[in-house]
Amino acid sequence: MKKRAEIIISGRVQKAGFRDFIDEIAFDLNLDGYVKNLDDGTVEIVCEGEEGPIRDFLEKINIIQYPIRVENIDVVYKDPTWEYKTFEVIREEDLTLATYERMDAAVRYMRQMNSDLGQKIDGLGENLSCKIDGLGENLSQKIDGLGENLGQKIDGLGVKIDQNRAEIREMNSNLGQKIDGLGEKIDQNRVETTSEIRLSRDDFRSHLDERISNIERELAEMKARFMS
């Protein structure tokens, strides 16, 4: 349902660019009417539109934002007259006052733009910081994972080296045993060969002594026969 709202706003609301701010809000909410400054320092608004948008309008213009300070809003609701086709700012006939107010409005918009830009830069810095932190964390995790894998590989290599050492030690032990066994066999063969040589030499000497004894005996017998 459409309504007509007749509004009087008091506070620091003149020469601060407030009327241009009101005009922008009315445009966004599709309200028709006007806003103007009164001689007592207040601002008068007459707007017509749907009841919901008018409530939103009253909430949005009730601000304390340097250099504007709204202290009180009086509202009277009436039936719409349908006399307005758009929303407008009624300015003073004094061009100097109107120019100063437009300049104040421009300064307020610039201040608001700087504030918004600062918030965006802060948000960008925060997001960038979060991304850098995330990148650092991911890099740290990858380095930790790489170090862990490298450590496991080194441990595995160490185990293989220890196994190879054990195998080499066992091979050396077996080789030593074989060499010792071969030495024992060689010693045994040397003893056996020496014994055989000694026995052969003793047999030969005994046989030679026996032959010499027989020859001497035969010579003695022959000499005895020749002598007789």
What gap in Å lies between CA 54 and CA 47, rounded to an integer?
Answer: 8
**H helices present in 29-94, as ranges:** 51-61
Q: Which residue has the tokens 């320092």?
A: 41
| Nearest alpha carbon to residue 68 among 13, 130, 150 | 13
Find the catalytic residue in 4, 30, 37, 127. Answer: 37
- Is 19 catalytic? The answer is yes
Find the catalytic residue in 19, 149, 190, 201. Answer: 19
State the pairing for strand pair 43-50/2-12.
Answer: antiparallel
Those residues with Cβ within 8 angstroms of residue 10's Cβ, 6 or more apart along the chain or in another chain = 41, 42, 70, 71, 72
Question: What radius of gyration do the chain's Cα atoms show?
Answer: 62
- Is 37 catalytic? The answer is yes
Longest dimension (CA), the chain: 198
Those residues with Cβ within 8 angstroms of residue 81's Cβ, 6 or more apart along the chain or in another chain = 4, 48
Q: Which residues form the catalytic set?
A: 19, 37
